[in-house]
Amino acid sequence: MEIKPNPMIPGEICVAAGEIEINQHRDTVKISVINTGDRPVQIGSHYHFYEVNNALVFTREETLGYRLNIAAGTAIRFEPGQKRTIELVAYAGTRQIFGFQGKIMGDVACLKDE
DSSP 81-93: T-EEEEEEEE--T
pTM beyond 0.75: the answer is yes
- 11 CB neighbour count, 10 Å cutoff: 5
User: Could you give all domains of the chain from N- to C-terminal order, each with its CATH number?
Assistant: 28-113 (2.10.150.10)
- pLDDT score, position 78: 98
Predicted confidence (pLDDT) per residue in 52-96, tens digit: 999 999 999 999 999 999 999 999 999 999 999 999 999 988 888
Sign of CA dihedral 46, 48, 49, 53: negative
Alpha-carbon 99 to chain mean position: 15
- pLDDT score, position 95: 83
Mean pLDDT to the nearest integer, 12-26? 86
- pLDDT score, position 53: 96
- pLDDT score, position 63: 94
HSE of 74 in the Cβ direction (CA atoms, 13 Å)? 7
